Every structure is written in structure tokens, then in C-alpha cells.
Amino acid sequence: MRDRRLLGSIVVFAVLLLVPLFVHDTFFLRVASEAIMWIGLAVAFDVLAGYTGYLNFGHSAFFGIGAYTTAILMMRASWPFPLAVVAGGVVAAAGAVLAGLPTLRLRGAYFAIATWALARAIQQAALMMTVTGGPDGMRLTAYLQPRFFYWVLLGVVGATFFLLWFLLERAPFGLKLKAIREDEQGAKALGLNPTHLKVQAFVLSAVPTAVLGGVFAYWVTFIDPDSTLGDLVSDQALVMVVFGGMGTLIGPVVGAVLIFAFKTVFWTYLADYEVLYIIILGAVIALSVVFLPNGVLGKLRRRGAVRRPGTGAPAPAAATAPPAAEAGTAAARKGAT
């Protein structure tokens, strides 16, 4: 089952790769590129939020760090774009370790507040420094190639998605993070070092976010503290993840696509009712928290449309195990083969 879903993801990825060859409408490409970027941001957010149980309201800081690192290196040090983007990822990784060690000791609301405050501090720093251009922001050399950015964003998000799929759904790492989420003290007794795992998750969440920030900066050619370091990235990623389904990889993808589609339709056809957008979005969040605690994906799963993830192929021992008392369990086990 899980493999079939991976296969589906690969097919979707391949189709998306081919889209710019057939579609030349720049508006469409721009919207699609942004949607893909949001998929990446939401999936990265979920590493910490859904799998590890830490709501990171400083997610936007990593997006901004990537954007500014890329902009500064390209404009002030004449670095080529690919190197500058990678440097943004490296800076974010270091930042995640530094920020994670103290803040990941906190739990729940305290972690959310601490990361939010840290993001605000970084935003203020960007406003005051000269290298960032302060409140005036930074302008990058325009590179008007919509297809190029579409492919770069798709490449980054695709690589992120499949790497995370392997680490979180296939390798032990994902289950270990979930153990931390469920009971940190209990996890320690099983030989898991919560600090190590949480910092690793933090880095894993921060790096793709920063890389996307770097690509974003070059793509939109202008960044300022508000657009890249403001709350938007954290808030919107949270909304997408909650709406789609936390603690899964497909959930954030579904949430990102639906929320972004809604946003685009709204801004295209109902731009006069700007205020309504925020109100409707807020209502959607409130309603989905109450009625869809496990997101859209969780709703589908409960109806049996999607099988519970994490039920891997039965281990060899299962074959030698005596028949399970429950026929349903035995059938389910067989079904997973």
C-alpha cells in the first residue's frame, strides 16, 4: 500500500516535470511554481509539527535566512545562484542547531512562543542591519525565466519529499520521532536521545525551508523583512499542515494544494473582498480543528479509503507466528504483504 502511494507520488512528480513543455502560460506557471513551493514549506513544517510534536512558529525565520543569505551572497559577493542557495541551507542548518538546543527543551505553547520570539528578533535584526538593506529590502538581478524557477522549485520540493519519505516512513528515524512526540520520558528508556533526535528533525525541517527561501528571493527579485521573515510562512504552513493532516507526508501536500488553490481563486476573482479572505481562512481553520482533527487525510483514512500508515510489510517472524486470534488482524497483515 505504502509503496503504491510512493509510486503515485513518483508519477505525479514525473507529470509535473513535463508540464512546462506543454504549458506556456506564464500566469499558470507562476501559480503552479508557488503552489509547489508551499508544498515544500508545508512538508518541511510537518517534520517538526506532525512527526515530532513541536509547533515551530519560527519556521518563517529559516525561509528568510535562506532568502537573505542567497540575496546577500549573490548581490554583495557575486556568488553564483546555486552556491548561494546551498549556503543558505548551510546557514539555516547551523541556525537550527543553535536555536534548537535551547528551545527544544521547551514543550507545547512554550516552544511555540520561544520560536516565535526568535523569529521576531531575526526580523528586527534584518530591519536594522545595513547588509540586508534594512526596511528597504534587497533587489536581486532579475532572471525572467518562469520555466527555470518552476523546475528548480519542483526539483527542490521533489528531493525534499522523497528524502523525507525515506527517512520518516521507511527508515527508523520517523518512528523514533513519533516516540518522542508521544512520550519523551518513555522514549529515553528505550535508548532514544530526545535532544539529538529533535535537533536532527529541526535541521531537517529548516534546510529545505531555507533553500526554498533562497530560490524564492531570486525568483521574485525583491525581498524585504516583512515578505520573507514575517509570520506568513509559519502561519500558512501551519494552516496547510493542520488542514491536510499532521504527521503524514501526503497530508501537508493535500493541504497546501487545497489552501493555495483557494487562495489563488479568491485573489483572482474576488480580490475586492480582501478582508473576506482572512475571515474565511480563519473560519476554515477553526472548523477543521473542530471537525477534522486529523485533517482531510485523516477523514479519508477513517472511512477506509486510505490505510493507516506505519503498518509495514509483516516481518518474517509473522509467517512463523501462530495464527492471530483476530481474523481481521490476520487479514490485515496478509493484505500488507
Partner 1 sequence: MAEPILKVENVTKAFGGLVAVCDVSFQVQPGEIVGLIGPNGAGKTTLFNVVSGYYAPTRGKVFFRGEDVSGKPPYALAPRGIGRTFQVVKPFAGLSVLENVVIASFLKHPRRADAEAHAWSVLELTGLADRADAPAASLTLAGRKRLEIGKALALEPVFLLLDEVVAGLNPTEVDRTIELILQLRARGMTILIVEHIMRVIMRISDRLVVLNFGEKIADGPPAEVARTPAVIEAYLGESAA
Q: Site residues (CB under 8 A) for partner 1?
A: 170-172, 175-176, 178-179, 181-183, 185-194, 308, 310-318, 321-322, 324-326, 329, 332-333
Of the two residues 21 and 325, which places its CB atom closer to partner 1 in the complex?
325
Neighbours of 171 (CB within 10 A): 11
Altogether, the residues listed in the chain come to a count of: 337
Nearest distance, CB of residue 196 and partner 1, angstroms = 9
Within its chain, how far is the Cα of 124 from the centroid? Answer: 24
Neighbours of 87 (CB within 10 A): 20
Nearest distance, CB of residue 171 and partner 1, angstroms = 7
Cβ contact 47:165 at 8 Å: no
Phi, psi of 138 (to 5 degrees): -130, 140
Of the two residues 304 and 322, which places its CB atom closer to partner 1 in the complex?
322
Nearest distance, CB of residue 184 and partner 1, angstroms = 10
SS3 223: strand
Nearest distance, CB of residue 197 and partner 1, angstroms = 10
Cβ contact 217:79 at 8 Å: no
Of the two residues 131 and 321, which places its CB atom closer to partner 1 in the complex?
321
Taking the C-alpha atoms of residue 99 and residue 137, their distance in angstroms, rounded to an integer, is: 24
Hey, what's the cell of 72? 546577500
Taking the C-alpha atoms of residue 280 and residue 271, their distance in angstroms, rounded to an integer, is: 13
Nearest distance, CB of residue 318 and partner 1, angstroms = 5
Of the two residues 50 and 133, which places its CB atom closer to partner 1 in the complex?
50
Of the two residues 107 and 308, which places its CB atom closer to partner 1 in the complex?
308
